[in-house]
Amino acid sequence: MSEVAESVTTEPMIPVGIPRAKKVSKGFFATSFAIFFRSKLNIFALILFSIIAVLSYGAGWISENILHEDRDQLDFDLVAKGIQLPAPPGTFNHLLGTDELGRDILTRLLYGGQVSLTIGFLVAAISIFIGTLLGLLAGYYGGWVDDVVNMLVQVILNIPALFLLIMLSIYVSPTIVSLSLLIGLLSWPLLTRQVRGAVLSLRTRDYIAAAEVMGASSFRILLVHILPNVVSLMIVVAGFTIAAAILIESALSYLNFGISVPVPSWGSMLSDSQTRFTSAPWMVYTPALAIFLTVLCVYLIADGLRDAFDPRLK
Amino acid sequence: MKKFVIRRLIQSIFLLWLVMSLSFLLVHAVPGGPERTLMANPRITQEELDAARKAFGLDDPFYIQYGRWLVNSATLNFGLSYKQNEPVLTVIGERIGPTLQLGVAAYLFSLLGVPLGVYAAMRRGKLGDNVVRVVTVIGSAMPAWWLALMLIVILSNTVGWFPQGQGNGGIGPWFLNLLIPALTLSTAEMIRFSRLVRSETLEVINQDYVRTANAKGNTREVVTRRHILRNSLIPVVTLFGSFLPTVLSGAVITEVIFNWPGMGRLFFESANARDYPVVLTIVLIGAICTIAGTFLADVAYGFVDPRVQY
Amino acid sequence: MRKRLSLALAMLLVASALAACGETATPVPSTAAITTTASAATTAAASATTASVATTTAASATTASVATTAAGATTAATSATTAAATNPGDTGLEPIPPLATLPAGAKKGGTLNLAVSGTLPATLTGDGSTSDVVGNYLAMYNLLWSAGLVEYDYVNLKWHLEMAKDVKIDDTGKVYTFTLRPDLKWSDGSPITVDDFQYTFDNISKPNKSNPAQQASALGNLVTLDSYKSDSAAGTITVTFKEAFARDVAYYYLTFAPLPKKVWQDKPFFDPSNNPEIKKPTINSGPYKIESYDSNGQGVFVANENWYRGRPNFDKIILKAYSPDLVSNAIKTGQADASLTFMPPSQYNEIKANADLKTYDYYGVQVDFRYIVYNTTKAPFNDIVLRQAIVYALDRNTLIKVAENDRAKAQYTFENQTSPYYNPDVNHYDYSLDNAKKMLAGAGYTLQGSTLMGKDGQPVKFTLSFATVDVPGKLLATYMQAQLKQLGIDVAVNGLDPQTYLISLVTKKFDLGTGTTGGSVFPDPDAVKFFYTKDGVYNVAGYVVPRIDEIFALGTHELDPAKRTKLYQEAEKILNNDVPSAVLYAPVSYIAANKKVGGIVPTKGGTVDLNQNVTEWYFTQ
């Protein structure tokens, strides 16, 4: 597994124990990643995503040492010089122009990436954790545990997600963490269903029965014998969740429930510039491109991994 | 079979109750309500506030309000909209039609995902597959609301027209106005359909009966049509249930952008105005439809897939 | 015009922000102006407060010729009204003339397509209090309804007679007798009589039992009335006030649209589900009548041949709602000829540059301004020095550029510079960070590193709240945050949904807030009393000065315009110095129209009266 892949897929999932997965079924993962890297498209997506992530998380350093701009710094020099704000790209040291407050778009774009990606990762982590845990429990224990989990899943799936988000948004003041929690708490059910399904079929396997006979605790069986088998599922779902979270965050911004000022996210930058398609396109298309490329890469990676992991397709 | 249906029915009702309770709790725990709205009126007196609270039964203990709401809902009495002073059902009734039009159109568009998925599966790993992959991924890599706005800007700057609201007049304008919102709304589902169908088809291709059919010397077309498609499309049925909440979610944004007078926008407006009766009823209607949809899909699954035993 | 009284108030605080964003529901649309008989029963003090949001400038009311510039208006107004006051019988009100004949080259007729931002209102009755979309209801109001006995002209800033042909006031100043025009007709051709007025009055003064949250209907001002009597034979209406009011105040109380008794009398007055007239009136009194109306689709209005001012200029007016940011697209593509609601400042330059379109600036006379408001009931803003220092730290000119795309004018008190009540002798708080720092240092604030410490030795910290739908508010918050950092203050900003924001203000759970007043009822200082007096519900600053209460109480009843001006100027001075809230600027709003639409004369009443001039529009070709 390359270093890059580590940062993309495993970082948020430490709680569910990737290292064990590697140890137990190294052969499977090795072949899967080999398949993954056979596709040039997958490699391209992975590299591009890594670049975006590095730029975003290096926003602090880059803006200080290269751009010499501050995230929230209002450039009043522009106003003093009589330049109409928002200033177009190339105005003095603003490579990508400024917004209506004279803040540097490039700097905010980098910081915005940090926020959007963090939300994506956090949401993925939350939903993977809850989703896997409940899926394992429901699938393994069955009975009332299964019923309860199933009901929870059903309740969330049966209220349109945006309805729930809007109702919940009224409570919380939007920060990175609260938004991630909000989105994360609503995006685990599908994973739970899939994990549960996988566990149900695993349960009937002989080796599980053997482990039970040998007196292994339920905890051990779940952790050592079952979890590694759903890791591939988790990785794939994590990818899609990251992408979805970035998009949902932007939708919330559009509906005025997004992250609060002055913190930028790609979604809020996009939403703040919605009246400027023709008058200040640099404000519109830069965050749009950032979201597009990021989500595209994450999708391609997740899609590629899914195919690579799929035993039927080997 | 009968036993299964009854069990699922009971489950569904229980589920509905859970959904209702959760949304009631959520809505009533939010600060603000009609009486808060009244406070924005500079002339209001405390007595009037109290009278308003009393008239809406907001002074009763929480469990009484909850119970009353459950009972009233069961008898289809959803109360008056705080905002419009009309029965909630009348308010929502006006908005159901437009959402239905949008939803049905979006559903039809999203079915385009099925041939895409089959095509991609048949060409797995080849150029065709990659093209479909990239195209579907591109479609879902932008926020739908932003794509919609961009479409409007492009349309209005090029052809000098953009869709707005429900069409008035003939079938032509109606369809034109419906087309773009419905396409926007369907993008996500279309992609989901194509993905699902692609992976199902891939699975079916590797099944023994397909090999047998091929071995028997059937033409590629016959195998595809009789053996692959028939089986790989079964799961599409299950998407009936989950389609609805996605569409309603999407409708909130699509309807806001295109000024489409549907339930999604009504929900957004009512949530902002703290018009609880309307908010709760919309959630309820959404939940009933979804639950019913899932239920029907489950039952239908048994008919289309002979392997399923209840 | 009562609709403005009851509704426009509701729009204060956050409303214009909402309207600007096309938010369909102003927070309190239907619940405004609840003063019903119930509140009539409350204390006399309450009724006094309730009474007079809605005074017009004494100047404009009584003078035929009011200049709109500040200086001119003040002098002209003062002398003219003084003259009028000495002769109570002579009201100086002119009857409204027939519709002006069109200039050469103009075309009578045609279909006008209008774009409204947000949604169309569900109800169209003359009693707008039941409307769900107040802003847009007001926008189309004048197309369907006549304002009532008298009307305020927002272009020329004066009162005139509308449905009355003359008015007599007795010596006590309490009894007003109106004679109805004989040529008034409903859109079906039947006459409008004093019975219709009486019927409407009798009903709007009753509480709305079907939905107490919507008791809005009742005239807030009725508590000031002793009686309202009509005489069918003579065609007169006699109104008796409990006490004498400034004449403009009195007129304002008497403006409500009459509803057709013959159609309405057997139907529940407030219940839209059992009275279809509320949602879609079959007959009405304005220049256009309804051909078809669907609040979810479009409204089609056709010329009312029976209108008392003559045949209106267009054969047909079609109204369609657009999502706010797209109104400009509708006009650019020709899907609409003009916008009937204000458009986002950020799109101004682009529209202005478009050769096919023309923009029209609307600069309200008053009560349409951006403010920041401090919670003066607790630290840190119980300290006047901090409040003043912060205002010094804000550069209005820069602020206007960044938050409003340069589409606003600086303002320093609740009256703007064009108002006859404007007090030129107030502190402009000219931008000076040094000044701000000096003041703070002088008052015992210290800088520790780059952090400003209060007198108690703790860092000065507070939260600035705003409604997230309020786009300029959001920009202002960001600007303030950057600006106050230079004073060593770390401001937290908190964007809230409009309801929560409003509640946090009213319940005083805030430190610093910002918003706009959102369009005036009409240009009179009395309209702002709710912000500054002890019992004012919008006195969210919690700032109480007995003299201010006294001034606003006196102003309502002061008959001499010169004295009135003096009173309000004194209030401006006090409030400008004490800054419980700081007035920053007044937006210059705009609409855009196709070049083929002529006759557009921007009114000066702000958002509320945008539409008043629509009946004068025409096609130039």
Q: Check pLDDT > 80 for residue A196.
A: yes
Distance (Å, rounded) from C-alpha B281 to C-alpha B292?
16
**Block residue for tokens 């703790």:** C458
- C-alpha to C-alpha distances, A11 to A17, A18, A239, nearest whole angstrom: 11, 9, 12
User: Could you tell me if B137 lies within 8 Å of chain A, comparing CB atoms?
Assistant: yes
Distance (Å, rounded) from C-alpha B231 to C-alpha B235?
8
CA angle C511–C512–C514, rounded 5-degree value: 150
3-state SS, chain B, equals CHHHHHHHHHHHHHHHHHHHHHHHHHHHHCCCCHHHHHHCCCCCCHHHHHHHHHHCCCCCCHHHHHHHHHHHHHCCCCCECCCCCCEHHHHHHHHHHHHHHHHHHHHHHHCCHHHHHHHHHHCCCCHHHHHHHHHHHHHHCCCHHHHHHHHHHHHHHHCCCCCCCCCCCCHHHHHHHHHHHHHHHHHHHHHHHHHHHHHHHHHHHCCHHHHHHHHCCCCHHHHHHHHHHHHHCHHHHHHHHHHHHHHHHHHHHHHHHCCCCCHHHHHHHHHHHCCHHHHHHHHHHHHHHHHHHHHHHHHHHHHHCCCCCC
Q: How far is CA C160 from the centre of its chain?
A: 19
Distance (Å, rounded) from C-alpha C583 to C-alpha C569?
15
User: Could you tell me if C349 lies within 8 Å of chain A, comparing CB atoms?
Assistant: yes
Strands of the sheet with C338-339, listed across from one edge: C288-293, C298-303, C316-322, C111-117, C338-339, C589-594, C357-362
Identify any residues that bridge with C166 across adjacent strands, giving them in sequence order. C179
Give the amino acid at C295. S
User: Residue C405, SS3?
Assistant: coil
Per-window interface: B 89-108 vs A, CB < 8 A: none
User: Could you tell me if A292 lies within 8 Å of chain B, comparing CB atoms?
Assistant: yes
Which residues touch C89 (CB under 8 Å, ≥6 apart)? C168, C169
To test the contact with chain B by mutation, choose from A148, A159, A283 the residue with the greatest count of B C-beta atoms within 10 A, namely: A159
Average pLDDT of the residues of chain A = 84
Distance (Å, rounded) from C-alpha B92 to C-alpha B266?
8
Q: What is the pLDDT of residues C29-57, one digit of tens each?
A: 222 222 222 222 222 233 332 223 333 22
Query: Which residues in chain B have their CB less than 8 angstroms from residue C9's CB?
Result: 41-43
Half-sphere exposure of B224 (CA within 13 A, CB side): 9
Q: Is the pTM of this model over 0.90?
A: no
User: Is the ipTM, as predicted for this complex, more than 0.85?
Assistant: no
Q: What is the pLDDT of residue A311?
A: 67
**Block residue for tokens 């469990």:** B63
Q: What is the pLDDT of residue C216?
A: 40
Query: Which residues in chain A have their CB less than 8 angstroms from residue B287's CB?
Result: 158-159
Contact yes or no for A260 and C398 at CB 8 A: no
User: Could you tell me if C332 lies within 8 Å of chain A, comparing CB atoms?
Assistant: no
**CA Rg value for chain B:** 24
CB neighbour burial string for A242-252, b if at least 16 within 10 angstroms, e if fewer:
bbbbbbbbbbb
Contact yes or no for A170 and C398 at CB 8 A: no
> Which ranges of chain C have pLDDT less than 70?
1-90, 127-135, 207-223, 365-367, 518-523, 605-611
To test the contact with chain C by mutation, choose from B48, B85, B99, B253 the residue with the greatest count of C C-beta atoms within 10 A, namely: B85
Q: What is the pLDDT of residue A286?
A: 94
Q: What is the pLDDT of residue C382?
A: 92
Strands of the sheet with C512-516, listed across from one edge: C408-410, C581-587, C370-374, C512-516, C461-467, C490-496
Q: What is the pLDDT of residues A231-258, one digit of tens each?
A: 888 988 899 899 999 999 999 999 888 8
To test the contact with chain C by mutation, choose from A72, A111, A179, A261 the residue with the greatest count of C C-beta atoms within 10 A, namely: A261
Q: What is the pLDDT of residue B246?
A: 80
Distance (Å, rounded) from C-alpha A2 to C-alpha A20?
17
3-state SS, C569-594, equals HHHHHHHHHHCCEEEEEEECEEEEEE
Query: Which residues in chain A have their CB less than 8 angstroms from residue B146's CB?
Result: 250, 254, 270, 274, 288
- Structural element, H or E, at residue C338: strand C338-339
- The highest-confidence range among A27-31, A289-293, C346-350, C540-544, by mean pLDDT, is A289-293
Q: What is the pLDDT of residue B9?
A: 87
User: Is residue C143 within 8 Å of C112, Cβ to Cβ?
Assistant: no
Compare CB distances from C272 to B34, B86, B160 and report the shortest one's residue: B86
Contact yes or no for A279 and C401 at CB 8 A: no
Q: What is the pLDDT of residue B296?
A: 81
Query: Which residues in chain B have their CB less than 8 angstroms from residue C36's CB?
Result: 48
Across residues A13-27, what is the average pLDDT? Answer: 42
DSSP-assigned letters across all residues of C418-432: TSTT--SSS------
> Which ranges of chain B have pLDDT less than 70?
1, 30-49, 166-169, 235, 237-241, 302, 304-310
Contact yes or no for B19 and A274 at CB 8 A: no
Q: What is the pLDDT of residue C307?
A: 93
Other Cβ atoms within 10 Å of C265 Cβ, number: 12
Distance (Å, rounded) from C-alpha C248 to C-alpha C167?
13
Which residues touch C6 (CB under 8 Å, ≥6 apart)? C32, C33, C128, C129, C216, C217, C219, C220
Q: What is the DSSP letter of C69?
A: S
Contact yes or no for B137 and A274 at CB 8 A: no
